[in-house]
Amino acid sequence: MLHLKNRRVQMTFRRRVLYIPGYDPIPPRRYRELYKREGAEQARISGYRLDFGPRSDRSGFGWGVNSEINGLRSESEIEVLVWADIVSGSMGQSIAATYGQLGRTAWAYIGSGALFRLMRLRRGPVIAALYPVVVLLAQALVAMLVAAGLGWLAARLSGISLLALPVFLAVTWAALHLWRRIDGRIFAYYLMHDYAFTAQGGGAYPAALEARLAQFSDRVAQVLADGWDEVLVVGHSSGAYLGVSVLADLIRADRVPGGARLAYLSLGHVVPMAAFLPRANRLRADLRYLSARPELDWIDVTAPGDACSFGLCDPVAVSGVEPSDRRQPLVLSAAFNHTLSPEKRRSLRGRWFRLHFQYLCAFDRPGDYDYFAITAGPLPLAARFAGRQHSPGRIARAVNGFTAT
């Protein structure tokens, strides 16, 4: 607050948010719709005000939001850093190619020993990783059993034994296509493409993704030059480890202006799925580097109730690259058992994919973690969590078998 000529003038906190999605082919407007819907609900529950509108900066895709929380005002502009086109390109696989991915991805994790080390951290995300493998193999087995039965029946009824093979092939093909058509409900193909994308090249980023990360770093540098009170980068799911590399590149290149307030919020991370692979040297080096840098404040939020993330696993420590001068991240729990009512938890039971997005949604019993107060409220990230310690239950044991950087 400032006092000018005996008038109380309220300063408005100005923030720029750059959001990096996970492996998701949906268009960025869906994130805007989610933010507006869930933000309005959180404002109603928590008793503050959010007003949505356009951004002053029309480059890229995003939206604006103004808030008034506890009498303090804030203006935020949120932008989605898009890589959905790369995701969509990696998902355009035939059925046969997807089963080829299954074999290569399973070998990448099992042959390297990464799968067994991941199980020493959290079994939930490992089971989620095995889910598409089991489902796709089960689909193929059911299709072939049905096809074999119909082929035998056709040959028996027609008296033409050679008819069994074409019937078997046709029915198998039709059954597998049917399974794929309903994948929007079971997500087996989607998850298979996700894990295959991470595992390709043994954890090394593909060239197209490296080029996009460089563009993201350029964008963050542009925004930092605009004098915002805070520039907040948010990475969710796979986007959490991409954000680590984006910010590490930015700081290595000395592109953070003096006095700039840069913050990083990683949500529902799956860092070990990538960092535990043998050729993920780049990511491990970025984790080690970023954890010791004073140019930013890094808060990592997960929840043990999220079976698709490595809940409370310190992404730097478990990867075996923690430096002696480590500063961050602060590892916090979204504590779904406390921040969601029993009724809400019951409504989400079994909807593990929806729970993985809960970090971006409203909580009906909100605690310290409130996505909308963080991204649109009047406090910078570091101030909001000042004085906090790691949440109880933080997992910091280094179990990665590959620590080269």
Does the structure show a pLDDT above 50 at 8? no
Report the C-alpha gap between 144 and 141 in whole angstroms.
5
Does the structure show a pLDDT above 50 at 218? yes
Contact call for residues 304 and 333 (beta carbons, < 8 A): yes
Contact call for residues 316 and 287 (beta carbons, < 8 A): yes
Contact call for residues 234 and 202 (beta carbons, < 8 A): no
Q: What pLDDT shows up at residue 6? A: 38
Q: Work out the average pLDDT over 321-342.
A: 97
**What is the band of 196 on the pLDDT scale with cuts at 50, 70, 90?**
very high
Task: Name the least confident of 235-239, 282-286, 348-352, 398-402.
Answer: 348-352
Residue of 303, 385, 396, 398 lying closest to 345 (CA atoms): 303
Report the C-alpha gap between 84 and 27 in whole angstroms.
7
With DSSP H G I counted as helix, E B as strand and the rest as coil, what are the percentages for the chain, rounded to 5?
50, 15, 35
Distances (CA, A) of 81 to 18, 211, 372: 7, 13, 18
63 φ/ψ sector (left φ>0, alpha ψ -120 to 50, else beta):
beta
Place of tokens 């409370």: 312
DSSP 215-265: HHHHHHHHHHTT--SEEEEEEETHHHHHHHHHHHHHHHTT-S-TT--EEEE
Q: What pLDDT shows up at residue 9? A: 45
Q: What pLDDT shows up at residue 184? A: 84
Report the C-alpha gap between 314 and 352 in whole angstroms.
21
Q: What percent of the chain has pLDDT over 90?
A: 85
Q: What pLDDT shows up at residue 249? A: 98
Q: Which residues pair with 331 in a beta bridge?
A: 300
Name the packing angle between helices 84-91 and 207-224 (round to 10°).
170
Give the helix ranges, DSSP H, for 1-94.
29-46, 84-91
Does the structure show a pLDDT above 50 at 112? yes
Report the C-alpha gap between 106 and 100 in whole angstroms.
10
Place of tokens 């310190």: 314
Report the C-alpha gap between 293 and 271 in whole angstroms.
19
Does the structure show a pLDDT above 90 at 2? no
Q: For the chain, how long is the longest CA-to-CA vector?
A: 102
Does the structure show a pLDDT above 80 at 291? yes
Backbone angles phi, psi at 74, to 5 degrees: -150, 145
Does the structure show a pLDDT above 70 at 10? no
Task: Name the least confident of 2-11, 173-182, 195-204, 381-390.
Answer: 2-11
Strands 61-69 and 72-80: antiparallel
User: In the structure, how many helices (H) and strands (E) does the chain have?
Assistant: 17, 10
Task: Write out pLDDT tens, residues 135-174.
Answer: 999 999 999 999 899 989 988 888 888 888 999 999 999 9
Say how far residue 319 (Cα) sits from the centre of its chain: 17
Q: Which residues pair with 67 in a beta bridge?
A: 50, 74
Backbone angles phi, psi at 60, to 5 degrees: 70, -165
Q: What angle do CA 73, 76, 80 make, to 5 degrees?
A: 160
Does the structure show a pLDDT above 50 at 124? yes
Q: Work out the average pLDDT over 161-190.
A: 89
Q: What are the structural domains of the chain?
A: 2-85+204-384 (3.40.50), 94-199 (no CATH)
Does the structure show a pLDDT above 50 at 276? yes
Q: Residue type for 347, please?
A: S
Q: What angle do CA 85, 91, 92 make, to 5 degrees?
A: 95
DSSP state of 205: P
Distances (CA, A) of 404 to 109, 277, 293: 17, 11, 20
Does the structure show a pLDDT above 60 at 3? no
Task: Write out pLDDT tens, residues 47-105.
Answer: 999 999 988 887 889 999 999 999 999 999 999 999 999 999 999 779 999 999 999 99
Q: Work out the average pLDDT over 102-111.
A: 95
SS3 (DSSP) at 378 = coil
Q: What percent of the chain has pLDDT over 70?
A: 98
Q: What pLDDT shows up at residue 56? A: 85
Contact call for residues 371 and 361 (beta carbons, < 8 A): yes
Report the C-alpha gap between 288 and 291 in whole angstroms.
6
Does the structure show a pLDDT above 90 at 239? yes
Report the C-alpha gap between 69 and 12 in whole angstroms.
11
Does the structure show a pLDDT above 50 at 1? no
Residue of 196, 212, 266 lying closest to 83 (CA atoms): 212
Contact call for residues 361 and 38 (beta carbons, < 8 A): yes
Identity of the highest mean pLDDT range in 90-99, 186-195, 289-298 = 289-298
Q: What pLDDT shows up at residue 7? A: 39
